[in-house]
Structure 1
Amino acid sequence: MTLTRRQFTLAGLGAAGIAAAPALRAAGYPDRPIVFICPWSPGGTADTTMRALCQAASKDIGQSIVVENKAGASGMIGLRAMANAKPDGYTIGQIPISVTRFSQLGTVKLDPMTELTYIARVSGQTFGTAVLPTAPWKTLQELVADAKARPGKITFASAGVGGATHVGWEEFLMAAGIRMNHIPFKGGAEALQAVLGGHVDLLVDSSSWAPMVRDGKLRLLATWGEQRTQAFKDVPTLKDLGYNVVVDAPNGIGAPKGLDPAVAARLRAAFKVAAASPEFSNACAQIEAPLMYLDGPDYAKYVEATYRKETQLIDRLKLKELMAKG
């Protein structure tokens, strides 16, 4: 799948030339509620922040933005539903950046270079590894030592096969030279409940664990970013512990291809305001999600660069073999 920069820009954005004439064509937009497809289960970190974002955007755009959850296949079911919708600006949704990986693995028939309109990148994710307070591991080093002694016996829960949490943790396991047993779920909320219920040994997720760590219901062993989080400064990163692994999967907003440039411009303006709103900032702060806003054109460039990086990651981690195993 080789595209020129010009092909990607025209297909992915459709809004580069925002002028007065198309703006007039969309003067009546929106005149009814907008549906926002969240490709994750209710209650997870993405769902929580996306609802706050949509609430703020609805104030600017003058219509309600109704969140619909369509979870499954590591976010690809909801994304596919959004991409297949009529490109009229009344169905939009979150774009999991893992589409740059899944499209190459063949698990979703969607080309992120040509089948989406990019509106905004809004926030990043703080990933981490958490266990129950009663777990035998007080540190990540203890977990690694136990995993070496008992290869494949320790279980970990993620938001789905091939997603950012699964692939990020597999990258760490390779770096540490250990094996664990993956237990995938439809989303972070289900994975969290499985660990809280004692059914799975450890949680690897974006920061659904943050409130539980604050309340003493989970113990955070490590985070996966370049730097330690402000709220959990005593918790080391994987890099702090000597592993050259950094995982960051920003959340973005998009629409189907073929969106009227003026409609895209109106959505971009509304979500730019929403991304800077107190509602969204507070929701992100609660789960240690860093604000990482990019407007549509720059977001499209980011997706293109990520696509190239994923090509290398797929080969290095033998992801096709991992996906085949489930």
Structure 2
Amino acid sequence: MPPGSPAPRHPWSRRAALGLAAGLAAPALVRAQAFPDRPIRLIVPWPPGGSADAQLRSMAEIAGRRLGQTIVVENRSGASGTLGAQYLATQARPDGYTVTQMHLGIVRRPYLLRTPPWDPATDFTYIIGLTGWLFGVAVKSSSPIRDWAGYLATARARPGTLTYSTSGIATTNHLAMEEIASREKVELVHVPYRASNEGATAVAAGQVDSIADSSAWAPLVEGGQLRLLCVWSAERAARYPDVPTLRELGIDMVVTSPYGLAGPKGMDPGVVRILHDAFKEALFDPANAAVRANFDMPLQYLDSEQYRAFILQRIDYERRMAERLQLRLD
């Protein structure tokens, strides 16, 4: 062949390439078209009966009807709500038949342990962002602290003695109170409990000065045993229209600890889309909206790409807070 002559072309080469590409894409297409053909497992990493359990069970029932398959809710409590993530990272197949609640404690945990159990950036497939919690600070109704200004004044007058309960060390609410204390230049004492309702009961009994947690305090506030000083949502809670937000009190913070759903890494995009669409429909269903309203849970929908972007952004914050506060769980 003379120098500079074009290489010979095979008439079948383009057709073969297209056929090869179609062949590679076909299994994924078939998987998505056939999905789901059996029940799906949704791991809730908390005991039955809580707000997240109720909200996710409602979604599972509604989404299951759309998918034509039962979504079985499996409660796996313990390890600060991370057993679902642990199962995804170590055992679950990326076929779409096992998903779990993804919350910020899972994103945070690798930065609290010497040996990280997973990488939140790469070890999960993010499906949909859903909702969060209403957080706030409450004191015993007979406390001399009447409002948020009084709370800060007491903290300044009694450095290192004003106590607050949370549902555990390195929880979102614990980190938020550390941030508030830093901004307001006050010294507070953290008293962690195993669960939010235990902390609320301790405050009502006078064992702790205050609670900074999700709305496990609500029944005691409505029953008159506790006084709610502030909420951490973007706007005032509909159930507590007279209670100011942190922003209204001069602290530019919104804390709702958003959560969503995730599966194992490597899930087929078509399957992710099917799951996303079913759970989105369930999230916006009036029945699920009623459950969220019952627990004052804000709607915080994010599609799959937006939810992944949110997690990647949050990873940096969680890493910096763990380093700044020198938080360790081992």
> Aligning the two structures, in what range does the TM-score lie when normalised by the shorter sequence?
0.7 to 0.9
The Cα of 1:28 is off from its aligned counterpart by 4.1
| TM-score using structure 2 length | 0.82
Give 1:171 shift: 0.9
Larger C-alpha radius of gyration, 1 or 2?
2
- SS of alignment partner, residue 104 of structure 2: coil
Report 1:27-66 matches (<5 A). Answer: 27-66=33-72
Does the 8 Å contact 1:31/1:63 carry over to 2?
yes
Give the percent of matched residue pairs that are identical in Structure 1 and Structure 2: 38
Residue identity matched to 2:107: T
How many residues get paired? 304
Q: Secondary structure at the match of 1:262?
A: helix
Letter in 2 for 1:47: D
Equivalent-residue separation in structure 2 for 1:205 and 1:80 (angstroms): 25
Partner of 1:86: 92
Q: 1:257 to 1:241 in 2, by over 3 A?
A: same
Q: Structure 2 residue aligned with 1:299, among 302, 307, 311?
A: 307
SS of match in other structure, 2:42: strand
List aligned pairs for 1:73-222, cutoff 5 A: 73-87=79-93, 88-106=95-113, 108-222=116-230
Structure 2 CA distance, aligned partners of 1:157 and 1:67?
Answer: 30
Which consecutive residues of structure 1, in runs of 5 or more, have no partner in the other structure? Answer: 1-18
Offset, 1:121: 0.1
Residue type of the alignment partner of 1:234: D
2:291 to 283, 297, 304: 283
- Structure 2 segments unaligned to the other structure (5+ residues): 1-24
Distance 1:79 1:159 in 2: 19
Moved over 6 A (4+): none
Aligned to 1:25: 31
SS at match of 1:304: helix
Q: 1:41 to 1:62 in 2, by over 3 A?
A: same
Q: TM-score, normalised by structure 1?
A: 0.83
1:68/1:150 CA distance change after superposition, 3 Å:
farther
Deviation at 1:21, TM superposition (A): 5.8
- Deviation readout 1:191-235 (Å, 9 max, x if unpaired): 334444544332212223334433434321111133322322211
Distance 1:156 1:78 in 2: 29
CA offsets per residue over residues 64-105 of structure 1, 9 Å max, x none? 323333334432333223333322322211111243333233
User: 2:89 corresponds to which letter in structure 1?
Assistant: A
Distance in 1 between residues matched to 2:204 and 2:142, nearest whole Å = 11
Higher relative contact order (Cα pairs below 8 Å, separated by 6+ residues): 1
Residue 304 of structure 2 aligns to which amino acid in structure 1?
A: G
**Which residue type is aligned with residue 101 of structure 1?**
R
Secondary structure of the corresponding residue to residue 248 of structure 2: coil
Q: Aligned residue for 2:259?
A: 251
- Could you give the per-residue CA deviations for residues 247-273 of structure 1, whole angstroms, max 9, x where no partner exists? 232111111112233332221121111
Match of 1:308 among 294, 307, 316: 316
Answer yes or no: is the 8 Å Cα contact 2:113–2:328 preserved in 1. no
